[in-house]
Structure 1
């Protein structure tokens, strides 16, 4: 992980100067504020600011639904009810702002979540650092033979060494050419906004990313899942650890109903009913495709 001297100075100054406040404070998140959590080889995630806590979710729900929720005996029960029945608005009352340093190819995957406010480091105005994501050997894998979007067997021996050498040499050469093309040292060169187009996708960028808890849970459900690409999953896991400390009741419900739960299709429910009655159901008699049947079997083993 690499923090600039200016970023570290900002962190030290902020943590050394706590301010009194009348707003809701989540002790679990306070310990994370400004502290950078390392991710990958040069990346990090750090919480810059947040709003709300578990109580804010409950408060919003009771304003919204009024007497209809008064039978819920406690805050945890209400939060679990909201999560179980997909009532999303109360979770939108909590927000978080993160500073993230990540490879460009991860950022391009991440930005598909269009429910956040983002401000990214601009290579039009600034020169990017010579920092690239180089996978650990365990992450150098071949294409999966059963999943067009996934990885298969880990590369070994000479093949792993060959690929790793290409990644390192290509990144170094592209950055060398980037520096040579820039308008500097009395040469005319290219403008920064043009010179950047030759940089590799594994170079690091940074951004501020602000979102509400409902949309953050959606991000985590997809990106902290075991099937997500490793390079974005480790960021999601680092964020999830912060969220668990920030809103422990909401995160517990999220783990149960979203991360630990499953959604079954009408066909799948029908097959389960037939199985419970003792019928032997095959893929052919289920009405499911091969992929649906494989995923269904993966749920009930």
Structure 2
């Protein structure tokens, strides 16, 4: 699965600027002054306060666009987060490639417990082989049916119904920092979080890659997010 940065205008200073307009008015400069140790510490204190007290609107200034390649079932989970904009590859307009998802060997396979109170445990070598064999067989049969319908002149939007949710798709997703933190709080599993989430591992892998990008672009904001229990403001 792939998550890549395409474009952004994110910065910790944008959060600070948006927050301070409430008390000191506009302080926008076309060429901002270089940060100092003192100003960085002051900004970190303000961002920490905003995060702790959940004053969320200053975190809505700026956006990042990601390019994502993942199985369709991951996209269906991701697109439940309506605080973002999406444009996905369309099987109505192009023929999809035979790219399908197979779980890696370290992916836990066995669900133990009941809904709302279960864990996943590693599978056996035999179970992993069963997953690979059965998924590969199903994918091959589905794609062959898809190709037969296309060859018979069936519209792509009808033929695509044969394809399983393990088919890879691609999309662009754009969101602001507040929306991204909401996504991360729900789609990563961290025992030290205030509200522990239990996402499916495949979307968590994508979320971890998105978080690495967020951490690099907004280190002060990300640190405050971590310190305050990974609760989106």
For this structure pair, what is the TM-score category when the shorter chain's length is used for normalisation?
A: 0.7 to 0.9
Residue 64 of structure 1 is matched in structure 2 by 22
SS of alignment partner, residue 106 of structure 2:
helix
1:99 to 51, 54, 67: 67
CA distance in 2, matches of 1:50, 1:245: 12
Q: Does 1:164 align with 2:122?
A: no
CA distance in 2, matches of 1:82, 1:210: 23
* Aligned residues of 2:8 and 2:62 also touching (Cα < 8 A): yes
1:235 to 206, 220, 231: 206
Root mean square deviation of aligned Cα: 1.8
Q: Which has the larger radius of gyration?
A: 1
| Deviation of 1:154 (Å) | 2.0
In structure 2, relative to structure 1, the CA distance for the partners of 1:192 and 1:85 (3 Å cut) is same
CA distance in 2, matches of 1:118, 1:150: 32
Residue 251 of structure 1 is matched in structure 2 by 222
The structure showing larger relative contact order (alpha-carbon pairs under 8 Å, at least 6 residues apart) is 2
| Deviation of 1:66 (Å) | 3.8
Q: Does 1:225 align with 2:196?
A: no
CA distance in 2, matches of 1:119, 1:201: 18
SS of alignment partner, residue 229 of structure 2:
helix
What is the total number of aligned residue pairs between the two structures?
209
* Aligned residues of 2:108 and 2:120 also touching (Cα < 8 A): no
After superposition, the C-alpha distances for 1:235-282 in whole angstroms (9 at most, x for unaligned) are 1111111111101100000011133x7xxxxxxxxxxxxxxxxxxxxx
Q: Does 1:122 align with 2:93?
A: no
* Aligned residues of 2:186 and 2:199 also touching (Cα < 8 A): yes
SS of alignment partner, residue 144 of structure 1:
strand
Q: Does 1:44 align with 2:12?
A: no
| Deviation of 1:139 (Å) | 1.5
Unaligned runs of 5+ in 1: 1-42, 68-72, 262-301
Residue 193 of structure 1 is matched in structure 2 by 157
When normalised by structure 2's length, the TM-score is 0.84
When normalised by structure 1's length, the TM-score is 0.66
CA distance in 1, matches of 2:10, 2:126: 52
Unaligned runs of 5+ in 2: 26-40, 191-197
